[in-house]
Structure 1
Amino acid sequence: MKRILVLFFCLIFQNVLTAQIHEIGVFLGGSNFIGDVGKTTYVSPNKLAFGILYKWNKSPRHSYRFSYTQSTISGNDLDSEVHGRVERGYNFKNEIKEISAGLEFNFFDFNLHEKLNKMVTPYVYSGITYFAYDELFVLNGETKKDYSSSTFAIPMVVGIKSNIFENIILGLEVGARYTFTDNLDGSLPKNKNLESLKFGNINSKDWYVFSGFTITYTFGEKPCYCKE
């Protein structure tokens, strides 16, 4: 994971030196989990999430976006509306550290060099996410760590943003991650010695959601936004 982070930041700084218009900033918000333990609410942040992001704006409609975000995700059956989960009473915590790269698309033109105009646009983002987490298992009602692991996820983000000041853009977004694992909560341990401890829906992967604000600073030369 450390080598991937080094490569990630090298790519960002290389783009900063060669691209025409940039945004760099932070994400601050909350996280929640959707899986076999805890609440089934899709957007219900209960843990702090934070990160950094960089955008290389290729046109007023689309940007290449790179980010690093981390958070603790958690679930508690006692908070669920499902009677069976409340009776079971399991709970867990897991640490998520992700890097993500993909394309952000604006529904309306968002020309960062039109300094005098206030602009607002909805946007969507998707790409590929790679994240580190802990493989868990539940024994005698207690959730324990087996080993550290990592896998991929598909981010699906929707948001709205505006240039609140000359070089400052504020965004509000909700982003679900469809992961390639079903064991963020300890319900499906990969360890063959723990197969008897499986529970929940084994045909459905886990999700986690980041909801919050982005604040970015824009800089760079004015691009022509023309076909190469």
Structure 2
Amino acid sequence: MKKILVLFICLIFQNIMNAQINELGVFLGGSNFIGDVGKTNYISPNEVALGIIYKWNKSPRHSYRFSYTQSTISGNDLDSDEPARNIRGYEFKNNIKELSAGLEFNFFDFNLHEILQRKITPYVFSGISYFAYDELYVINGETKKDYTSSTLAIPMIVGVKSNIFEHFILGFEVGARYTFTDNLDGSNPKNEDLQALKFGNINSNDWYVFTGFTLTYTFTEKPCYCAD
């Protein structure tokens, strides 16, 4: 994971050296989990999430976006509205370290040439995420770590953003990640020696959600949105 993060940072600075408009900033918000333990709410942040974001704006309507986000995700059956989960009483915590890359699309024209005009637009983002997490298992009602693993996820983000100052863009977004694992909560361990400990719906993969604000700074040459 560390090697991939270094490569991610190198790619950012390689693009910064090109004469394109760049955005670099931070994400600050919260995370929540959707799976077999805890609440079943789709958006209910209960842990802090932090990240860095880089965007390479190719036109007023689309940008290539790269990000690194990390958070703890957690769930507690006692917080659920489902009586069966309340009685079971399982809980867990997991550590997520995510790299994402993909395309951000603006619904309205977001031309950064027009710096004296207030711009606002909804946007969507999708692509691919690669993240590290802890493989967990539950024994005698206690959740334990087996080993650290990694897998892919598909991010689906919706948000709205506006240029609040000449070089600053503020956004708010909600981003769900459909993961390629069903064991962020310890319900479906991969370890063959722990197969008897499975519980919940083993035919449905886990999700996690990041909700929060982005603040980016634009720099280098303003873009010429025209054909090369």
TM interval, shorter chain, is over 0.9
TM-score by length of 1: 0.99
Q: Which residue of 1 aligns with 2:93?
A: 93
Q: Which residue of 2 aligns with 1:107?
A: 107
Query: How big is the shift at 1:94?
Result: 0.2
Q: Is the 8 A contact 1:19 1:56 kept in 2?
A: no
Partners of 2:126 and 2:139 in 1: how far apart? Answer: 37
Query: How big is the shift at 1:19?
Result: 4.2
Q: Which residue of 1 aligns with 2:173?
A: 173
> Which stretch has the larger CA shift, 124-133 or 14-23?
14-23
Query: How big is the shift at 1:172?
Result: 0.3
Structure 1 regions of 5+ residues with no counterpart?
none
Q: Which residue of 2 aligns with 1:47?
A: 47
Q: Is the 8 A contact 1:22 1:218 kept in 2?
A: yes
Partners of 1:194 and 1:138 in 2: how far apart? Answer: 9
RMSD: 0.6
> How many pairs were matched up?
228
Q: Which amino acid aligns with 1:153?
A: A
Query: How big is the shift at 1:222?
Result: 2.2
1:202 corresponds to 2:189: no
TM-score by length of 2: 0.99
Q: How does 1:205-216 map to 2 (within 5 A)?
A: 205-216=205-216
Partners of 2:46 and 2:6 in 1: how far apart? Answer: 30
Q: Give every structure 1 segment of 4 or more consecutive aligned residues whose post-TM-superposition deviation is greater than 3 Å.
A: none
Q: How does 1:188-199 map to 2 (within 5 A)?
A: 188-199=188-199
Query: How big is the shift at 1:104?
Result: 0.2
Structure 2 regions of 5+ residues with no counterpart?
none
Q: Which amino acid aligns with 2:50?
A: F
SS in 2 for 1:162: strand
Q: Which residue of 2 aligns with 1:134?
A: 134
SS in 2 for 1:122: strand
1:38 corresponds to 2:49: no
Q: Which amino acid aligns with 1:161?
A: K
Q: How does 1:10-159 map to 2 (within 5 A)?
A: 10-159=10-159
